[in-house]
Protein backbone atom coordinates (compact mmCIF):
# COMPACT_ATOMS: atom_id res chain seq x y z
CA UNK A 1 0.00 0.00 0.00
CA UNK A 2 1.26 3.50 -0.87
CA UNK A 3 2.46 5.70 1.93
CA UNK A 4 0.63 8.85 3.04
CA UNK A 5 3.32 10.96 1.38
CA UNK A 6 2.97 9.13 -1.94
CA UNK A 7 -0.83 9.48 -1.91
CA UNK A 8 -0.58 13.17 -1.07
CA UNK A 9 1.92 13.71 -3.89
CA UNK A 10 -0.39 11.95 -6.34
CA UNK A 11 -3.34 14.10 -5.24
CA UNK A 12 -1.24 17.20 -5.83
CA UNK A 13 -0.13 16.12 -9.32
CA UNK A 14 -3.71 15.21 -10.27
CA UNK A 15 -4.92 18.64 -9.19
CA UNK A 16 -2.28 20.24 -11.41
CA UNK A 17 -3.38 18.05 -14.31
CA UNK A 18 -6.97 19.10 -13.69
CA UNK A 19 -5.97 22.76 -13.89
CA UNK A 20 -4.34 22.12 -17.27
CA UNK A 21 -7.28 20.19 -18.74
CA UNK A 22 -9.74 22.79 -17.45
CA UNK A 23 -7.74 25.56 -19.11
CA UNK A 24 -7.54 23.59 -22.36
CA UNK A 25 -11.30 23.04 -22.26
CA UNK A 26 -11.92 26.78 -21.94
CA UNK A 27 -9.48 27.60 -24.76
CA UNK A 28 -11.10 25.01 -27.03
CA UNK A 29 -14.56 26.41 -26.26
CA UNK A 30 -13.44 29.88 -27.33
CA UNK A 31 -11.84 28.52 -30.51
CA UNK A 32 -14.97 26.51 -31.24
CA UNK A 33 -17.16 29.62 -31.19
CA UNK A 34 -14.86 31.41 -33.63
CA UNK A 35 -14.48 28.40 -35.93
CA UNK A 36 -18.23 27.73 -35.99
CA UNK A 37 -18.92 31.36 -36.85
CA UNK A 38 -16.39 31.34 -39.68
CA UNK A 39 -17.79 28.11 -41.14
CA UNK A 40 -21.34 29.49 -41.07
CA UNK A 41 -20.25 32.79 -42.60
CA UNK A 42 -18.54 31.03 -45.51
CA UNK A 43 -21.51 28.82 -46.43
CA UNK A 44 -23.57 31.52 -48.28
CA UNK A 45 -20.59 32.13 -50.59
CA UNK A 46 -20.44 28.46 -51.60
CA UNK A 47 -24.21 28.32 -51.97
CA UNK A 48 -24.28 31.32 -54.32
CA UNK A 49 -21.55 29.92 -56.58
CA UNK A 50 -23.40 26.60 -56.69
CA UNK A 51 -26.63 28.41 -57.55
CA UNK A 52 -25.02 30.29 -60.45
CA UNK A 53 -23.25 27.22 -61.79
CA UNK A 54 -26.43 25.14 -61.56
CA UNK A 55 -28.39 27.88 -63.33
CA UNK A 56 -25.91 27.97 -66.21
CA UNK A 57 -25.56 24.20 -66.48
CA UNK A 58 -29.28 23.47 -66.29
CA UNK A 59 -30.74 26.58 -67.88
CA UNK A 60 -28.45 27.27 -70.85
CA UNK A 61 -28.81 25.10 -73.93
CA UNK A 62 -25.65 23.53 -75.33
CA UNK A 63 -23.48 24.32 -72.34
CA UNK A 64 -21.31 21.54 -70.91
CA UNK A 65 -18.00 21.11 -69.11
CA UNK A 66 -15.81 18.07 -68.29
CA UNK A 67 -15.97 18.91 -64.56
CA UNK A 68 -19.75 18.40 -64.69
CA UNK A 69 -19.69 14.96 -66.29
CA UNK A 70 -19.02 11.50 -64.89
CA UNK A 71 -16.18 9.76 -66.69
CA UNK A 72 -16.90 6.50 -68.46
CA UNK A 73 -14.08 4.71 -66.66
CA UNK A 74 -12.75 5.57 -63.21
CA UNK A 75 -9.11 4.53 -63.15
CA UNK A 76 -7.98 6.48 -60.10
CA UNK A 77 -9.84 8.08 -57.19
CA UNK A 78 -8.54 10.93 -55.08
CA UNK A 79 -9.29 11.21 -51.37
CA UNK A 80 -8.81 14.49 -49.51
CA UNK A 81 -8.64 13.57 -45.81
CA UNK A 82 -8.79 16.29 -43.14
CA UNK A 83 -7.43 15.48 -39.69
CA UNK A 84 -5.83 17.50 -36.91
CA UNK A 85 -2.13 18.11 -36.33
CA UNK A 86 -2.35 17.25 -32.62
CA UNK A 87 -4.08 14.72 -30.42
CA UNK A 88 -6.01 15.22 -27.17
CA UNK A 89 -9.31 15.37 -29.07
CA UNK A 90 -10.89 12.02 -28.26
CA UNK A 91 -11.92 9.85 -31.21
CA UNK A 92 -11.92 12.79 -33.65
CA UNK A 93 -9.08 11.39 -35.77
CA UNK A 94 -9.34 7.65 -35.12
CA UNK A 95 -12.98 7.35 -36.18
CA UNK A 96 -12.39 9.26 -39.41
CA UNK A 97 -9.21 7.40 -40.36
CA UNK A 98 -10.73 4.02 -39.56
CA UNK A 99 -13.73 4.75 -41.81
CA UNK A 100 -11.54 6.12 -44.61
CA UNK A 101 -9.23 3.10 -44.56
CA UNK A 102 -12.25 0.77 -44.57
CA UNK A 103 -13.80 2.44 -47.62
CA UNK A 104 -10.52 2.46 -49.51
CA UNK A 105 -9.97 -1.25 -48.83
CA UNK A 106 -13.52 -2.06 -49.95
CA UNK A 107 -13.34 -0.02 -53.16
CA UNK A 108 -9.79 -0.63 -54.35
CA UNK A 109 -7.69 -3.72 -54.85
CA UNK A 110 -4.42 -1.88 -55.53
CA UNK A 111 -2.69 1.36 -54.41
CA UNK A 112 -2.55 2.25 -58.10
CA UNK A 113 -6.29 2.87 -58.02
CA UNK A 114 -6.28 5.76 -55.56
CA UNK A 115 -4.28 8.64 -54.15
CA UNK A 116 -4.52 10.61 -50.92
CA UNK A 117 -4.30 14.33 -50.23
CA UNK A 118 -3.61 14.62 -46.50
CA UNK A 119 -4.54 17.78 -44.61
CA UNK A 120 -3.21 17.35 -41.07
CA UNK A 121 -0.25 15.62 -39.42
CA UNK A 122 -2.26 12.79 -37.80
CA UNK A 123 -3.69 11.66 -41.13
CA UNK A 124 -0.39 12.11 -42.96
CA UNK A 125 1.43 9.92 -40.44
CA UNK A 126 -1.37 7.31 -40.48
CA UNK A 127 -1.24 6.83 -44.25
CA UNK A 128 2.54 7.04 -44.47
CA UNK A 129 2.93 4.33 -41.81
CA UNK A 130 0.72 2.03 -43.91
CA UNK A 131 2.53 2.85 -47.18
CA UNK A 132 -0.64 4.27 -48.72
CA UNK A 133 0.03 6.65 -51.67
CA UNK A 134 0.10 10.30 -50.57
CA UNK A 135 0.02 12.68 -53.54
CA UNK A 136 -0.01 15.91 -51.54
CA UNK A 137 0.16 16.88 -47.90
CA UNK A 138 -0.09 19.95 -45.72
CA UNK A 139 0.52 20.22 -41.99
CA UNK A 140 0.64 23.05 -39.51
CA UNK A 141 -2.57 24.74 -40.60
CA UNK A 142 -3.57 27.56 -38.23
CA UNK A 143 -6.58 27.28 -35.94
CA UNK A 144 -8.30 29.98 -38.01
CA UNK A 145 -7.29 29.08 -41.57
CA UNK A 146 -7.70 31.43 -44.51
CA UNK A 147 -8.19 30.30 -48.08
CA UNK A 148 -4.58 31.25 -48.89
CA UNK A 149 -3.42 28.58 -46.42
CA UNK A 150 -4.77 25.80 -48.68
CA UNK A 151 -4.98 27.65 -52.01
CA UNK A 152 -2.12 25.79 -53.65
CA UNK A 153 -3.14 22.32 -52.53
CA UNK A 154 -6.80 22.94 -53.46
CA UNK A 155 -5.92 24.28 -56.89
CA UNK A 156 -3.46 21.46 -57.55
CA UNK A 157 -6.00 18.80 -56.55
CA UNK A 158 -8.63 20.28 -58.87
CA UNK A 159 -6.05 20.51 -61.66
CA UNK A 160 -5.15 16.84 -61.17
CA UNK A 161 -8.79 16.01 -61.90
CA UNK A 162 -8.81 18.26 -64.96
CA UNK A 163 -5.58 16.65 -66.19
CA UNK A 164 -6.95 13.14 -65.68
CA UNK A 165 -4.69 12.13 -62.80
CA UNK A 166 -7.88 11.55 -60.79
CA UNK A 167 -11.19 10.57 -62.37
CA UNK A 168 -13.15 11.44 -59.24
CA UNK A 169 -12.33 13.17 -55.95
CA UNK A 170 -13.89 12.69 -52.52
CA UNK A 171 -13.28 14.61 -49.33
CA UNK A 172 -13.42 12.94 -45.91
CA UNK A 173 -13.85 15.03 -42.78
CA UNK A 174 -15.71 15.31 -39.49
CA UNK A 175 -18.88 17.32 -40.01
CA UNK A 176 -19.82 19.56 -37.09
CA UNK A 177 -23.18 18.54 -35.62
CA UNK A 178 -22.89 20.08 -32.17
CA UNK A 179 -20.26 20.90 -29.58
CA UNK A 180 -20.36 17.29 -28.38
CA UNK A 181 -21.11 15.51 -31.65
CA UNK A 182 -19.22 15.11 -34.92
CA UNK A 183 -20.17 13.00 -37.92
CA UNK A 184 -17.67 11.28 -40.22
CA UNK A 185 -18.64 12.52 -43.67
CA UNK A 186 -17.73 11.69 -47.26
CA UNK A 187 -18.50 14.38 -49.83
CA UNK A 188 -17.96 14.04 -53.57
CA UNK A 189 -16.05 17.07 -54.84
CA UNK A 190 -15.44 16.09 -58.47
CA UNK A 191 -17.06 15.64 -60.88
CA UNK A 192 -19.62 18.30 -59.95
CA UNK A 193 -22.79 16.34 -60.69
CA UNK A 194 -26.29 16.88 -59.35
CA UNK A 195 -25.86 20.61 -58.68
CA UNK A 196 -29.48 21.44 -59.46
CA UNK A 197 -30.71 18.77 -57.06
CA UNK A 198 -28.40 20.10 -54.34
CA UNK A 199 -29.73 23.63 -54.76
CA UNK A 200 -33.33 22.43 -54.67
CA UNK A 201 -32.57 20.42 -51.53
CA UNK A 202 -31.50 23.70 -49.92
CA UNK A 203 -34.91 25.20 -50.67
CA UNK A 204 -34.38 26.90 -54.04
CA UNK A 205 -36.77 25.51 -56.69
CA UNK A 206 -36.00 28.08 -59.39
CA UNK A 207 -32.84 26.51 -60.76
CA UNK A 208 -32.62 26.95 -64.53
CA UNK A 209 -35.09 29.85 -64.49
CA UNK A 210 -32.96 32.53 -62.89
CA UNK A 211 -32.38 35.50 -65.19
CA UNK A 212 -28.58 35.86 -65.16
CA UNK A 213 -26.73 37.92 -67.75
CA UNK A 214 -23.39 36.40 -68.77
CA UNK A 215 -20.41 38.35 -69.99
CA UNK A 216 -18.70 37.27 -72.18
CA UNK A 217 -20.67 33.96 -72.39
CA UNK A 218 -21.90 31.04 -70.32
CA UNK A 219 -19.03 28.72 -71.31
CA UNK A 220 -16.41 31.25 -70.21
CA UNK A 221 -18.20 31.81 -66.91
CA UNK A 222 -18.28 28.07 -66.24
CA UNK A 223 -14.58 27.80 -67.08
CA UNK A 224 -13.81 30.31 -64.33
CA UNK A 225 -16.44 29.38 -61.75
CA UNK A 226 -16.20 25.59 -61.68
CA UNK A 227 -12.62 25.39 -60.31
CA UNK A 228 -13.47 28.11 -57.74
CA UNK A 229 -16.56 26.19 -56.67
CA UNK A 230 -14.63 22.91 -56.25
CA UNK A 231 -11.97 24.76 -54.24
CA UNK A 232 -14.66 26.38 -52.08
CA UNK A 233 -16.01 22.90 -51.23
CA UNK A 234 -12.56 21.89 -49.99
CA UNK A 235 -12.12 25.07 -47.95
CA UNK A 236 -15.66 24.84 -46.55
CA UNK A 237 -15.01 21.26 -45.44
CA UNK A 238 -11.81 22.42 -43.72
CA UNK A 239 -13.69 25.11 -41.79
CA UNK A 240 -16.34 22.56 -40.81
CA UNK A 241 -13.64 20.12 -39.71
CA UNK A 242 -11.93 22.79 -37.61
CA UNK A 243 -15.16 23.47 -35.71
CA UNK A 244 -15.53 19.72 -35.16
CA UNK A 245 -11.94 19.45 -33.95
CA UNK A 246 -12.38 22.11 -31.28
CA UNK A 247 -15.70 20.62 -30.21
CA UNK A 248 -14.07 17.20 -29.87
CA UNK A 249 -11.10 18.67 -27.99
CA UNK A 250 -13.39 20.60 -25.64
CA UNK A 251 -15.38 17.44 -24.88
CA UNK A 252 -12.21 15.39 -24.37
CA UNK A 253 -10.76 17.95 -21.96
CA UNK A 254 -14.05 18.14 -20.08
CA UNK A 255 -14.04 14.37 -19.66
CA UNK A 256 -10.41 14.51 -18.52
CA UNK A 257 -11.31 17.19 -15.96
CA UNK A 258 -14.23 15.12 -14.68
CA UNK A 259 -12.00 12.05 -14.43
CA UNK A 260 -9.43 14.07 -12.50
CA UNK A 261 -12.15 15.18 -10.08
CA UNK A 262 -13.20 11.57 -9.54
CA UNK A 263 -9.60 10.44 -9.05
CA UNK A 264 -8.93 13.23 -6.56
CA UNK A 265 -12.03 12.19 -4.61
CA UNK A 266 -10.95 8.54 -4.57
CA UNK A 267 -7.39 9.38 -3.58
CA UNK A 268 -8.59 11.74 -0.85
CA UNK A 269 -10.75 8.96 0.58
CA UNK A 270 -7.81 6.54 0.51
CA UNK A 271 -5.59 9.17 2.11
CA UNK A 272 -8.08 9.85 4.92
CA UNK A 273 -8.52 6.15 5.60
CA UNK A 274 -4.78 5.53 5.63
CA UNK A 275 -4.25 8.56 7.89
CA UNK A 276 -6.97 7.35 10.24
CA UNK A 277 -5.42 3.88 10.32
CA UNK A 278 -2.02 5.38 11.10
CA UNK A 279 -3.49 7.47 13.94
CA UNK A 280 -5.34 4.45 15.32
CA UNK A 281 -2.17 2.37 15.18
CA UNK A 282 -0.20 5.12 16.95
CA UNK A 283 -2.82 5.34 19.72
CA UNK A 284 -2.77 1.56 20.15
CA UNK A 285 1.01 1.60 20.42
CA UNK A 286 0.87 4.35 23.06
CA UNK A 287 -1.80 2.50 25.03
CA UNK A 288 0.12 -0.74 24.71
CA UNK A 289 3.31 0.92 25.90
CA UNK A 290 1.58 2.51 28.90
CA UNK A 291 0.01 -0.83 29.84
CA UNK A 292 3.41 -2.54 29.71
CA UNK A 293 4.92 -0.01 32.10
CA UNK A 294 2.12 -0.28 34.71
pLDDT at res. 60: 62
pLDDT band at 2 (very low <50, low <70, confident <90, very high): confident
68: pLDDT confidence band, cut at 50, 70 and 90? confident
- pLDDT > 90? residue 59: no
Q: Is residue 261 part of a domain?
A: yes
* Residues 54 and 198: beta-carbon distance below 8 Å: yes
Same domain for 19 and 136, yes or no, is no
Assess whether 225 and 111 both reside in one domain: yes
DSSP-based three-state secondary structure for 71: coil
- Please pick, among 53, 89, 118, 119, the residue that the annotation labels catalytic: 89
Give me the number of domains the chain comprises. Answer: 2
- Give the rounded distance of the alpha carbon of 224 from its chain centre: 29
Kind plus residue range of the DSSP H or E element containing 278: helix 218-293
Residue 4 has pLDDT above 90, yes or no: no
Task: Indicate if 89 belongs to the active site.
Answer: yes
36 in a structural domain: no
* pLDDT tens per residue across span 155-203: 999 999 989 999 999 999 999 998 889 999 999 999 987 665 665 556 5
pLDDT at residue 63 in the model: 67
Supply the pTM of this predicted model: 0.85
Q: Are residues 269 and 160 in the same domain?
A: no
User: 221 and 214 in contact (C-beta within 8 Å)?
Assistant: yes
- Please report which helix (H) or strand (E) contains residue 8, including its range: helix 4-59
The answer to whether 172 and 184 are in contact (CB under 8 A) is yes
Domain interval for residue 172:
41-249
Asked whether residue 187 falls in the same domain as residue 231, the answer is: yes
Highest-confidence segment of 115-129, 199-213, 224-238, 269-283: 115-129
Question: Considering only CA atoms, which of 208, 167, 156, 135 is closest in space to residue 66?
Answer: 167
pLDDT of residue 217: 74
Is residue 33 one of the residues assigned to a domain? no
pLDDT of 204 above 60: no
In a domain, 83, yes or no: yes
pLDDT of res. 49: 84
Q: The CATH number of the domain where 95 resides is what?
A: 3.40.1380.10
Categorize the per-residue pLDDT at 48 as very low, low, confident or very high, splitting at 50, 70 and 90. Answer: confident
Tell me which of 19 and 276 has the higher pLDDT.
19
Q: Are residues 261 and 239 in the same domain?
A: no
When pLDDT is cut at 50, 70 and 90, the band that residue 290 belongs to is low
Mean pLDDT of the region 233-255: 94
| Shared-domain flag, residues 151 and 66 | yes
Report the distance separating Cα 49 and Cα 245, nearest Å: 27
The region of weakest confidence among 136-140, 175-179, 212-216 is 212-216
d(CA 99, CA 221): 37
Q: Which residue has the higher pLDDT, 254 or 293?
A: 254
Domain co-membership, 134 together with 192? yes
b or e along 45-83 (b: 16 or more beta carbons within 10 Å of the residue's beta carbon)? Answer: ebbebbbbbbbbbbbbeebebebbeeeeeeebbbbbbbb
Which residue has better confidence, 83 or 3? 83
DSSP string, 177-203: EETTEEEEEEEEEES---HHHHHHHTT
- Is 81 a member of any domain? yes
CA nearest neighbour of 245 among 34, 22, 2: 34
Question: 189 to each of 78, 152, 229, 289, how far by Cα in Å?
Answer: 10, 16, 9, 85
The CATH number that applies at residue 263 is 1.10.287.80
Strand partners, 115: 78
Average pLDDT of span 206-233 = 75
Domain co-membership, 97 together with 225: yes
> In this predicted model, what pLDDT tens digit does every residue of 117-126 receive, in sequence order?
999 999 999 9
Would residue 30 count as lying in a domain? no
- Do 256 and 158 fall into the same domain? no
In this structure, the answer to whether residues 49 and 147 fall within a common structural domain is: yes
Amino acid sequence: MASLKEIKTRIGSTKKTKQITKAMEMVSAAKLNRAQGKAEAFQPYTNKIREVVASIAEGTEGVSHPMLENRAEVKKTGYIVITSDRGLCGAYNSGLLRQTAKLINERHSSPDEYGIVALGRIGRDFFKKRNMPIFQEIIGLPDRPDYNDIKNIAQTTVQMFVDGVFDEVYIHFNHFVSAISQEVTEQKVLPLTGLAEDVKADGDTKVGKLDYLYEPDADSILEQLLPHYAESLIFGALLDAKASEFGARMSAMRSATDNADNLIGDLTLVYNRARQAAITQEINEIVGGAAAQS
